[in-house]
């Protein structure tokens, strides 16, 4: 739905109208996928549904959504964009230091709240954003519930707790590393999941994802869950993958890599039994067309001329001079793989996720190395979902194994949990607490030289005039 609205309101009609028609068709096709409603689930397990909903709302509130509890640093950006989405015409344009620019960024999560804010103001937009994210988390929980396939109400609560507490083993390993190399180790409670001062690499917990980059977290988790549920329905992979571009292009790259590895594996394994008609079908072809349009929109930002200090330069991590830190960092996901290997040693998706997680930290791209932080999200989601699934599946059949996974969640998740405790102590239930030192994008651009080119295309190129409406 946000992509449909985006196509109509943001893009040049010559590309926006076809993109909107494709979106309507794909929405119609998607409506036939899901046959499992929640009416029967509510009749059988309504107490568990209510408890789960309360936990979800609490998690979202403590993460800063709605503005009732402390908002993280990244909310400066979220609030500025949302405010300008409300108060400016679409597409959002800026004039700054003699330049005329237009927003070219993954804005999917701001579309619905921005529209509501145009009708009711900034506070209503914040509340609608809270409800929009709560809806997304609830859909994710229901998707995982149907994927697990066991009709027990307590599973709903286990799923939401498994989502909240999942984290790579960054915090415990950082504590060990700080004893080995104290001059390089980060103070985790000050710097989040940044592991090393020199390496500049991060794998992120779910708590931090929701507190800092909720637009990239919830849509990604939904897409990964849908993909895992439709593992062999290749004809719907494109519909699952392509929308992510408007929420996080880096995450799109991560999920695309996982899908490609899986498809190549299936082609080799299944051979002639896998027909190309399963892959090359109307839904995937139309999804590719939509993908091209969305990528060209993002390319308006990426391809624009930038000053050297603003460019998102590609490079390599200095692994050789920081071998101990690099090996310790890789243990953050390897520990989870070792815990799962007893019952998931034949699970190819876990191995594909491992390949991606292993190679990503060798590279650098972006001011904060978003390549590692965000491309890794789908791979970590796969691990997260199998941890939850195996706890449910083996709680009675192999209780020791299931309890080890529960222990892993507690040990890995206890570190980032301090963020929610701190947020709980900084609240204003009767009003709003917005991390909003800048009211408009123009004020925000003056705050840091690195943000000027992150969100706006300042180059009036032919590509921009083709893709984005005036």
pTM listed for this prediction: 0.94
DSSP SS3 for 19: helix
Euclidean distance between CA atoms 328 and 225, whole angstroms? 29
pLDDT mean over 251-268: 94
Task: Look at residue 349 and tell me whether its pLDDT is greater than 90.
Answer: yes
Region class of 88: left (phi > 0), else alpha (psi between -120 and 50), else beta: beta
Model confidence band, residue 237 (pLDDT cutoffs 50, 70, 90): very high
User: Count of CB atoms within 10 A of residue 356's CB?
Assistant: 22
Tens-digit pLDDT profile for residues 109-122: 999 999 999 999 99
CA 314 remoteness from chain centre: 22
Place of tokens 């609205």: 5
Task: Look at residue 297 and tell me whether its pLDDT is greater than 90.
Answer: yes
Which residue, among 246, 228, 249, has the nearest Cα to 237 in the 3D structure? 228
Model confidence band, residue 309 (pLDDT cutoffs 50, 70, 90): low
Euclidean distance between CA atoms 112 and 103, whole angstroms? 16
- What pLDDT is recorded for position 184? 80
Which residue, among 343, 306, 377, has the nearest Cα to 101 in the 3D structure? 306
User: Count of CB atoms within 10 A of residue 417's CB?
Assistant: 16
Which residue, among 228, 244, 236, 222, has the nearest Cα to 374 in the 3D structure? 244
DSSP SS3 for 264: helix
More confident residue, 179 or 126: 126
Task: Look at residue 53 and tell me whether its pLDDT is greater than 80.
Answer: yes
More confident residue, 86 or 428: 86
- What pLDDT is recorded for position 276? 78
Euclidean distance between CA atoms 290 and 284, whole angstroms? 10
Task: Look at residue 177 and tell me whether its pLDDT is greater than 90.
Answer: no
Euclidean distance between CA atoms 77 and 37, whole angstroms? 36
Task: Look at residue 36 and tell me whether its pLDDT is greater than 70.
Answer: no
DSSP SS3 for 230: coil
* Residues 382 and 350: beta-carbon distance below 8 Å: yes
- What pLDDT is recorded for position 117? 96
Which residue, among 386, 413, 387, has the nearest Cα to 204 in the 3D structure? 413
C-alpha distances (whole Å) from 54 to each of 5, 61, 157 are 30, 11, 10
pLDDT mean over 172-184: 86
- What pLDDT is recorded for position 298? 94
Q: How high does pLDDT run on average in the chain?
A: 90
More confident residue, 2 or 192: 2
Indicate the helix (H) or strand (E) that contains 215. helix 214-229
Write out the two tokens for 166.
């999942």
Tell me which of 165-174, 186-195, 397-406 is least confident: 186-195
DSSP string, 310-362: TS--EEE---GGGHHHHHHHHHHHHHHHHHHHHHHTT-HHHHHHHHHHHHGGG
Task: Look at residue 263 and tell me whether its pLDDT is greater than 70.
Answer: yes
- What pLDDT is recorded for position 42? 78
Cα dihedral sign, 59-65-69-72: positive
Model confidence band, residue 34 (pLDDT cutoffs 50, 70, 90): low
Question: Which one-letter DSSP state was computed for residue 89?
Answer: P
CA 70 remoteness from chain centre: 21
Which residue, among 265, 285, 283, has the nearest Cα to 274 in the 3D structure? 265
Task: Look at residue 190 and tell me whether its pLDDT is greater than 60.
Answer: no
Tell me which of 103-107, 110-114, 293-297, 438-442 is least confident: 438-442
Q: What secondary structure, in 3-state letters, does 232-255 show? A: CCHHHHHHHHHHHHHCCHHHHHHH
- What pLDDT is recorded for position 401? 96
* Residues 142 and 160: beta-carbon distance below 8 Å: no
Tens-digit pLDDT profile for residues 383-433: 999 999 999 999 999 999 999 999 999 999 998 988 898 888 888 887 888
Euclidean distance between CA atoms 217 and 207, whole angstroms? 10
Task: Look at residue 367 and tell me whether its pLDDT is greater than 80.
Answer: no
CA 345 remoteness from chain centre: 27
φ and ψ of 313, to 5 deg: -65, 140
From the DSSP assignment, how many helices (H) and strands (E) are in the chain? 22, 5
More confident residue, 237 or 370: 237
């Amino acid at each position: 739905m946000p992509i449909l609205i985006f196509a109509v309101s943001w893009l040049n009609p010559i590309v926006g109208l076809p993109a909107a028609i494709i979106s309507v068709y794909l929405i119609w096709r998607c409506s036939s996928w899901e046959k499992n409603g929640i009416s029967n689930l509510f009749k059988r397990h309504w107490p568990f549904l209510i408890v789960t909903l309360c936990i979800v709302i609490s998690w979202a509130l403590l993460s800063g959504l709605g503005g009732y509890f402390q908002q993280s640093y990244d909310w400066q950006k979220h609030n500025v964009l949302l405010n300008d989405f409300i108060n400016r015409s679409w597409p959002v344009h800026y004039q700054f230091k003699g330049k005329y620019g237009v927003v070219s960024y993954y804005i999917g999560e701001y579309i619905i709240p921005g529209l509501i804010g145009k009708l009711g103001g900034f506070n209503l937009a914040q509340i609608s954003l809270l409800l929009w994210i709560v809806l997304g988390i609830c859909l994710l929980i229901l998707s995982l519930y149907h994927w697990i396939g066991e009709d027990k109400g307590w599973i709903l609560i286990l799923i939401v707790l498994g989502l909240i507490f999942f984290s790579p083993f960054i915090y415990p390993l950082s504590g060990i590393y700080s004893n080995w190399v104290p001059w390089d180790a980060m103070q985790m409670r000050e710097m989040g999941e940044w592991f090393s001062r020199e390496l500049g690499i991060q794998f992120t917990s779910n708590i931090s994802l929701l507190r800092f980059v909720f637009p990239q977290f919830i849509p990604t988790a939904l897409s990964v869950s849908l993909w895992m549920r439709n593992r062999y329905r290749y004809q719907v992979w494109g519909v699952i993958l392509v929308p992510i571009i408007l929420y996080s292009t880096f995450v799109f790259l991560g999920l695309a890599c996982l899908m490609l590895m899986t498809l190549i594996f299936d082609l080799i394994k299944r051979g002639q039994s896998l027909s190309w008609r399963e892959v090359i079908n109307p839904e995937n072809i139309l999804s590719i067309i939509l993908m091209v349009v969305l990528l060209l929109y993002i390319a308006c930002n990426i391809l624009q001329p930038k000053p050297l200090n603003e460019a998102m330069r590609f490079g390599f991590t200095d692994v050789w001079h920081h071998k101990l830190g690099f090996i310790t960092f890789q243990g953050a996901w390897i520990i989870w793989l070792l815990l799962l290997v007893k019952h998931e040693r034949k699970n190819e998706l876990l191995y594909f996720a491992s390949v991606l997680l292993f190679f990503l930290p060798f590279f650098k791209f972006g001011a904060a190395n978003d390549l590692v932080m965000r491309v890794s999200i789908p791979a970590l989601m796969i691990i997260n979902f199998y941890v939850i699934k195996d706890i449910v599946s083996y709680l009675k059949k192999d209780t020791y194994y299931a309890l080890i996974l529960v222990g892993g969640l507690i040990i890995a998740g206890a570190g980032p949990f301090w963020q929610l405790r701190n947020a709980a102590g900084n609240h204003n239930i009767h009003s709003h607490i917005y991390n909003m030192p800048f009211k408009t994008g123009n004020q925000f651009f003056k705050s840091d030289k690195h943000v000027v080119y992150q969100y706006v295309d300042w180059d009036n190129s032919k590509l921009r005039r083709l893709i984005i409406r005036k």
